Structure 1
Amino acid sequence: MRQPRQGHGAPRRTGQISAGLTALRIIATTASRWLATLALLSLATIHASAQEAPSAIAHVEQAFALPTPPGATTGAVYLTLSIAKGDAVLTGASTPMAATVELHSMQLTQERMQMHRIKQLAISSDAPLAMAPGGGPHLMLIGLSQPLTAGDKLPLTLHFLARPDTSLEVSIKEYAEMMPLSD
């Protein structure tokens, strides 16, 4: 029986295993560095988003709708929008209670009230957008699925150009609560 020569074959296998382990260490180190970099970038993105969030979101005040009579298919929402920093553009709104929500403006022209659909409304930090009954901009609810009843709430989402959407609940209030009484 022939004896293998000493040192023949064994060192080569050990060297191959050693080289394989070295390659695995390099791959593992590279992968862990890549994952660490990705994690840091994710945290930086989250931190930057958190820093921008307060000024990016529109602030909504005095949001209300007036009740509609039975069978009515349209209604209106009024509110005041402000922004902490910069400018914003309101491009529309949506609600599950209406087929469509359009931006409208009402103006008195030649002793006649006229309503027009508009594509967008600008808001700036120094000029809030106020919507009120009796004229000016408002959100027109078209194709109501049910009448707007005083005391109920209307879910509404406002859509902006290059800013996050804002969701809110709009109170449906009695006319007497919202319309000033004339003397």
Structure 2
Amino acid sequence: MSVKSLALTAGLLAALITPAWAETTKSITIEDAYARVSSPNAKVGAIFFEIENTRDVADRLIDAKSEVAARVELHTHKEAEGGVMQMLHVPEGFVIPAEGHHHLKRGGDHVMLMGLHQGLKDGDLVPLTLVFENAGEITLDVAVDLNRAPEAGAHGSHSHSADDHKGHKHD
């Protein structure tokens, strides 16, 4: 086989492989993303959104990164003794079922921003990179929306504020 034939074969193989990779990276869609803080000077904030997985296999959100905070973690709420809601880091991440959705919402799973480097105000954009086990990284700009009402069923009238995080260390 000549060098020219090898180059042509390699080019054809690359063209065949690329669509499969592109499909994988487009298998996850992020919808209705927004960020909240309790005040413009808050040191913590949260980001909420819906994840849609169009593939026929499950994926997992395993990490989140943003330059606006010293630490970014995946969190959830859990009822502790006495009915008090407790915030917990979820190091294993969140499963997004095959051909399914996973909602990150107030009073439930969310992305936690701890040690904000600056205050966030309504309309600001927060750069966020989500890391998925299969789909890889997805980067987006999330608008800060301080006027959005909590979703119905999100632990009643529970709202996400700095007081929710008194037990956390904020580096």
Relative to the length of structure 2, the TM-score reads 0.78
Q: Which runs of 4+ in 1 moved over 6 A?
A: none
- Name the CA distance, whole Å, in 1 between partners of 2:48 and 2:78: 15
- Name the CA distance, whole Å, in 2 between partners of 1:136 and 1:158: 18
Change (3 A) 1:168 1:98: same
User: Percent identity, aligned pairs only?
Assistant: 29
More helix by share: 1
Kept in 1, the 8 Å contact 2:37–2:46? The answer is no
Match of 1:174 among 140, 146, 163: 146
Change (3 A) 1:158 1:52: closer
SS at match of 2:3: helix
Residue-by-residue CA offset, 1:66-88 (whole Å, 9 max, x unaligned)? 13424422111111111012211
SS at match of 1:150: coil
Residue-by-residue CA offset, 1:5-31 (whole Å, 9 max, x unaligned)? xxxxxxxxxxxxxxxxxxxxxxxx722
Task: Quote the offset at 1:50 in angstroms.
Answer: 3.6
- Name the CA distance, whole Å, in 2 between partners of 1:147 and 1:43: 46
AA matched with 2:105: A
Kept in 2, the 8 Å contact 1:77–1:140? The answer is yes
Match of 1:144 among 116, 119, 122: 116
Query: Are 1:103 and 2:74 counterparts?
Result: yes
Query: Are 1:81 and 2:51 counterparts?
Result: yes
Residue-by-residue CA offset, 1:86-124 (whole Å, 9 max, x unaligned)? 211000111111122101111222221111111111001
Kept in 2, the 8 Å contact 1:84–1:125? The answer is yes
Match of 1:123 among 88, 91, 96: 96
Tell me the C-alpha RMSD between the 2 structures: 2.1
Please show how residues 51-70 of structure 1 align to structure 2 within 5 Å: 51-55=23-27, 58-70=28-40
| Aligned twin of 2:161 | none
Structure 1: unaligned runs, 5 residues or longer: 1-28
- Name the CA distance, whole Å, in 2 between partners of 1:128 and 1:69: 30
Based on CA coordinates, which of the two structures has the bigger radius of gyration? Answer: 1
Structure 2: unaligned runs, 5 residues or longer: 158-171
| Aligned twin of 1:39 | 11
- Name the CA distance, whole Å, in 1 between partners of 2:128 and 2:7: 40
Kept in 2, the 8 Å contact 1:104–1:137? The answer is yes
